[in-house]
Amino acid sequence: MNWSPSRRTALTAAGAAAASATGLVGTARAATPAAKSDTTGDSVVIHPTLASVPLNTAFTVKVRPAGGTWQKLDAYLVKLAQIDPLTGRNQAQSSSMAAFDFSGTVEVEVTYNPGGVEKVRIRPDSYGITPEVLGSTARFTLDRPRNLVIQVNDKIFDCLHLLANPVEQNPPKQGDPKVIYFGPGLHTHPDRTLKVPSGTTVHLAAGAVLTSNVVFEGVENCRLTGHGVIDNATGGAILVHDAENVHVDGITVLNPRYGTITVAESQNVAISNLRSFSQQGWGDGIDIFCADNVTIDGCFLRNSDDCIALYTHRWDWYGDTRNITVKNSTLWADVAHPINIGTHGNPDPNAPEVLENLRFENIDILDHREPQMLYQGCIAINPGDGNLVRNVKVDNIRVEDIRWGQLIHMRVTFNPKWNEAAGRGIENVHIKDLTYTGTHAGTSLLIGLDADHVIKDITFENLVINGRVIRDSGGKPNWYLASDGVPMFANDHAHNLRFLTTEEAAAQ
């Protein structure tokens, strides 16, 4: 990239001065100090109340350091989406969210105020957290930061999303000339856009609510950090375009319009511990276009469209997408896909684009609900517009029972709604240690378009469906296909599809 001198211009003021220089104004609230137990290393930090974010009274949430004093958390109203399959109407649903920071060991007490509690489930299931339940109150212990969903009586929406953060270490300081600092309170902007200069950190302290889009465009070496919130940003909440070395960490995004984070024509981008809740149409989590070397780590995304979407060309953005890693994250798609790859690209046959070297590891998929067959798939690879998707590795993905959709959807597509040309193909996909536990998934699909647009070299290693390993070599009648055990349909344009055990894969 070519960086002009203006792109390297740093801010000369910070804190209130920086806010004033960018047109941002705010109302501050005092922070609540950490409450510590007598046990060294055990501490809890309670966030100041979020201005303008409505509270929800469905849950009472308390936390304390192990053996310490209980403190109450604010529980906020978050809006989520449910699509009516007959009308297509997006029906907003009410849910709850609470957040705090801690170190060491913390005890959590959650009371469901409407009562009538028959059971409490703490998700992801892979964490193995079994609460002690007495009446309408559940208690459990955490020994590490977690993003959790506490469900009462299997309620999908009237549940609590609990964001248990690590205590911030050496956060940016107000007054640093390279920092735009937002303390607790509501921060607004005349045009709802904060453009960040090169070499600058934007810090949203716990209790801060920013209603502007944060834009990293034509810049390098920038950060967006803190345990504050971006709420009701117009357009996408965060844009990283034509940028290099950008890190987004710890932020929670509520009610994004047209997506949470878009990364386009950029490289060396890290997104960690991001949380997103959306209800409106096109409320994606993280969208990546034409980017290189992007890491998504430790995120919790509950969205009203794709949670993670990887594309190449769209709008004015051009180029390949490669070297993308998504790991240690939790995905919940109330609409569309948890993971979607390849739909948008460059239909010009003289300038085809590639998505390659994509890795997904250690991910919990909590739900997927999509009435439209063409847009189903917890893991969907759907290249269109001349895209070729190749060299994809999926490792240790746990899919809990979904409401409506498919486990896997790979299809070389030409969808006139979104595409001007067919995708070129899907090559070399290795899916290892994928588990699905549930009964609602429909038939998975592997569909090549024709003899010139195929799916090939797809390996499932230790694919486990409700405790059963799906394998070519046994565990089924001889006249069955291994894919029948998923179930999965692969057409004549899907070649070299293999189902192996771990031992068989190691012997290859």
Q: Is 23 a domain residue? A: no
In a domain, 499, yes or no: no
Q: Which helix (H) or strand (E) holds 151?
A: strand 146-152
Q: What pLDDT does residue 189 have? A: 83
pLDDT digits (tens, 9 = 90+) for 80-118: 999 999 999 999 999 999 999 999 999 999 999 999 999
Write the CB contacts of 318 (distance below 8 Å, at least 6 apart in sequence).
265, 290, 312, 346, 351, 353
| Residue range(s) defining the domain that contains residue 106 | 35-166
Q: Which residues contact 471 (CB under 8 A, 6 or more apart)?
A: 482, 499, 500, 501, 504
Question: In which region does residue 417 sit, left (phi positive, over 0), alpha (psi from -120 to 50) or beta (all else)?
Answer: alpha
Q: Which of 344, 359, 493 is nearest to 426 (CA)?
A: 493
Q: Considering the domain boundaries, does residue 387 fall inside one? A: no
Residue 34 DSSP symbol: P
Sign of CA dihedral 463, 469, 473, 478: negative
In a domain, 46, yes or no: yes
CA distance 437 to 402: 9
In a domain, 434, yes or no: no
In this prediction, residue 319 carries a pLDDT of 98
Residue 433 maps to a domain: no
Q: What pLDDT sits at residue 61? A: 98
Residue 119 DSSP one-character state: -
Q: What per-residue confidence (pLDDT) applies to 497?
A: 98
Report the relative pairing of strands 185-188 and 120-123 from DSSP bridges.
unpaired
**What are the two backbone dihedrals, phi and then psi, of residue 505, each rounded to the nearest 5 degrees?**
-65, -40
Compute the half-sphere exposure of residue 287: CA atoms within 13 Å on the CB side of its CA. Answer: 26
pLDDT digits (tens, 9 = 90+) for 31-41: 344 344 333 48
Looking up residue 84, the CATH number of its domain turns out to be 2.60.350.10
The answer, as to whether pTM is greater than 0.75, is: yes
Output the CA–CA distances (angstroms, integers) from residue 153 to 14, 116, 120, 139, 164, in the order listed. Answer: 48, 9, 6, 16, 22
180-218 b/e with 16+ CB inside 10 Å = b? bbbbbbbbebeeebbebbbbbbbbbbbbbbbbbbbbbeb
Local mean pLDDT, 10-residue blocks, the chain (508 residues): 30 34 42 40 95 97 95 98 95 97 97 97 98 98 97 98 96 95 94 96 98 97 98 92 98 94 98 97 96 98 98 98 98 98 97 98 98 97 98 98 98 96 98 98 98 98 98 92 97 98 95
Q: Is residue 15 part of a domain?
A: no
Asked, for residue 317, whether it belongs to a domain, the answer is no
* Angle subtended at Cα 199 by Cα 198 and Cα 204, rounded to the nearest 5 degrees: 100
Count: domains in the chain: 1
Residue given tokens 């960490």 in the structure block: 249
pLDDT of 257: 85
